[in-house]
Amino acid sequence: MTAGAPPVTPPVTPIVTLRGVSRTYPSGTLALDRLSLSVEPGEFLTLLGPSGCGKTTLLRLIAGLAEPSDGRIEWSPDGGARRLGFVFQEPTLMPWARVEDNIRLPLMLAAVSPAESAARVGEAIAHVGLEGFERAYPRELSGGMKMRVSIARALVTRPQILLMDEPFAALDEITRFKLENDLSSLAHRPRLTVLFVTHSVFESVYLGSRVVVLSPRPGRVAAEFRVDSPAPRGEAFRTSSAYLEACRQVSALLASAMDLPLTLAPSPSGGEGTRPTSDAT
């Protein structure tokens, strides 16, 4: 478990646990340094960190797209084959395929029967509010709509865990707010487990039930923060004092995380103790 996890955490089996995971790039740069983290079922975990702290690398390791140089990634034994959905920074759609065919892709690759996949694609389209755009091509859609297609494609396999890599970073604020609201209720309804990477303090607090703050490269867990406001959250939460106070505290944690490498530098062997302890509300 993560150091300093608050006592309110129920004793549940995490979906995935990272134990001392390090990742060194072929160039020799250390991207992640002995990072430990566990994702519990049903939580919306946001990973907050500055650019280049290895957030994307972390998601790729969890997704199995890269191997850790050191440490272990353990999955909960139940559920058999692990199902995960991945949403990239860019919508990453096939431009030659219609919306419905883009969303169907994971099912097609898994050779799911046409009847079953038609039902699941319809369900995913309804979830992200893309009804009426099934036959459209990606280039006919706005950035926000493309991202909805990308999310629908990730949901269509009914994943145990949804990995999202700064999916809204390239969108305008109005579209982003709308997608954040929708994602918040989306994740709440069938109780999705989400691991959401972001470099925005506001986004991490707005969406997350737990915010994990990463240090600059090499990335490691610097602090964590529990956001107790119930999900799904809406515009009312965005202007509430609880939200603003949480943002202020997470900002402070991030600011001290940014200083972390400097305090660590003189004593790389005993760095563990100089970490700010996690802060729970």
Residue 237 identity: F
Closest CA to 216 of 274, 167, 256: 256
Question: Binding to another protein by residue 110, rule CB under 8 A?
Answer: yes
Residue 137 vs 177, nearer CB to another protein: 137
Contact mark string toward another protein, 142..171, x via CB under 8 A: ---------------x--------------
Cα 272 from Cα 267, distance rounded (Å): 10
Q: How far is the CB of 137 from another protein (least distance, A)?
A: 5
Among 26, 77, 95, 132, binds another protein (CB under 8 A): 95
Question: Binding to another protein by residue 137, rule CB under 8 A?
Answer: yes
Number of residues located near another protein, criterion CB under 8 A: 22
User: Which residues, in sequence order, are bridge partners of residue 279?
Assistant: 225
Q: How far is the CB of 222 from another protein (least distance, A)?
A: 28
Residue 27 vs 241, nearer CB to another protein: 27
Q: Can you spell out the DSSP letters for 137-151?
A: -GGGS-HHHHHHHHH
Among 34, 41, 50, 90, binds another protein (CB under 8 A): 90
Closest CA to 214 of 276, 280, 171: 276
- Residues 200 to 229: which contact another protein by CB under 8 A? none
Q: How far is the CB of 86 from another protein (least distance, A)?
A: 5
What number of other Cβ atoms are within 10 A of residue 43's Cβ?
Answer: 24
Backbone torsions φ then ψ of 108, nearest 5 degrees: -65, -45
Distance of CA 151 to the CA centre of its chain: 12
Residue 279 makes CB contacts below 8 A (sequence gap 6+) with: 223, 224, 225, 249, 253
Window contacting another protein (CB under 8 A); options: 72-80, 82-90, 118-126, 261-269: 82-90
Window contacting another protein (CB under 8 A); options: 91-99, 141-149, 186-194, 273-281: 91-99
Closest CA to 254 of 67, 102, 47: 47
Among 14, 49, 54, 138, binds another protein (CB under 8 A): 138
Cα 52 from Cα 215, distance rounded (Å): 10
Question: Binding to another protein by residue 84, rule CB under 8 A?
Answer: yes
Contact mark string toward another protein, 24..63, x via CB under 8 A: ------------------------------------x--x
| CB-based burial label for 49 (10 Å; 0-12, 13-18, 19+) | buried
Window contacting another protein (CB under 8 A); options: 8-16, 31-39, 100-108, 255-263: 100-108
Cα 47 from Cα 213, distance rounded (Å): 6
Give me the residues that bind another protein (CB under 8 A), please: 60, 63-65, 84, 86, 88, 90, 92, 94-97, 105-106, 108-110, 137-139, 157
